[in-house]
A and B are shown apart, each in its own frame.
Chain A
Amino acid sequence: MSPYALASEWERAQEARDQSPAATIEVRPQSWLRGTVRYSQLEPVVGFESARWLPSLLSDLRLLETSGQDIRGIGDLRVAHATADHVRRLLTIIPGAYLPAPTLAPFSGGGVALTWNIGDRELMFTAYPDHDDFVFMRTDDSDEIADDGILKPDQTKELTDVITAFLTARVR
């Protein structure tokens, strides 16, 4: 597949949107998409200036890492340093500036979930201890599962596709 195919796909989606009377979420991730495709050997890095929510999210993540507890009857909510690092790596790959502020939550067994919402649409990535990948789940505007799977951080094309689909899904 041509490295430019994704950009073309995005442009086609843009054209389709322009021709349709249906409302869409107003996002403009073209520059990020093109940069990712043309310089695929370089991972796009999210700067603090590009995602306003990033500093507080990193702070929350640090808090989970340092203050998680093992609560019998609920679960072990201690987040290992390696798991937190894995989430930080994801945050360096994704285009933070184009995404709303996510919710960060621990889950039992030392996992971390990162969830973005646009209306009823949702994109969730989960990091599990001792796994170098992420489980993702994307829902549509009816809050029904549109896509899910398991991705590694170096699958930038697939990650891009998931995030693009989340950002460009139509609002009913």
Chain B
Amino acid sequence: MPLLDDATIPGNAVLFRVLHQHKGWITSKGGTPRPSSIAFFEAHGEVSYFVNAPGMLTELRRIFQGSEIASVPASVIREKNLAIERRPAECPVGFQCDPACHVVVGPNGEMERNVYERNARSIAKHPDVKIVPNDPPAR
């Protein structure tokens, strides 16, 4: 079902995509590690993200220990004709931030899968999409 874009999420909002530890989800093409397009594919067109809010990165690192996290501006997603819809009910168990920060991203209408993959690839390669550096260990 097509997603309904939530206008309360501004274009300058930063969304976090947690990257699975499978080696295919990160690529070093171009010299710098970045998420691969596979990280933005979803068979049903609903990719999980978290809207940045105070404490969000710390919470994601607590829940998804060892996983890299990519930051994606909301505007980059919308440029690709993808919608951002809040899905608080699909939050991870034990999530301690605002559940309304959990969103899914996908087509807001009919989209062929090859076009969807092309868009996902554009997101993965966008210069504003980066893997968030890990905090240095405390001394």
Contact = CB atoms under 8 A, between A and B. Distances in A.
Q: Do the two chains bind?
A: yes
Interface of A: 71-75, 77, 103-111, 113, 115, 120, 124, 126, 128-129, 131, 135-137, 143, 145, 148-150
B64 A73 contact: yes
Contact of A129 (B19, B25, B43, B67): B43
Interface in B70-104: 90-93, 95, 102
A128 B48 contact: no
Contacts of B25: 105
A150 B111 CA distance: 13
A113 B113 contact: no
Contacts of B29: 120, 143
B66 to A, nearest CB: 12
Contacts of B46: 109
B42 A148 contact: no
B118 A148 contact: yes
A111 B118 contact: no
A107 B41 contact: yes
A115 B22 CA distance: 14
A71 B20 contact: yes
Contacts of B42: 75, 107-109, 111
B60 to A, nearest CB: 8
Nearest to B36: A105
Given A107-B38, A120-B29, A73 B50 contact: yes
B43 A135 contact: no
B5 to A, nearest CB: 20
Interface string B26-50: 0001100000111101111011101
Contacts of A135: 113-114, 117
A103 B24 contact: yes
A148 B23 contact: no
Enumerate the 4 nearest inter-chain pairs by beta-carbon distance, A residue then B residue, closest first. A105-B24, A109-B43, A107-B41, A73-B92
A129 B117 CA distance: 15
24 contacts: A72-B92, A73-B91, A73-B92, A74-B18, A74-B64, A75-B47, A75-B48, A103-B24, A105-B24, A105-B25, A108-B41, A108-B47, A109-B41, A111-B42, A111-B43, A113-B38, A126-B41, A137-B114, A137-B121, A143-B29, A143-B30, A145-B118, A145-B121, A148-B117
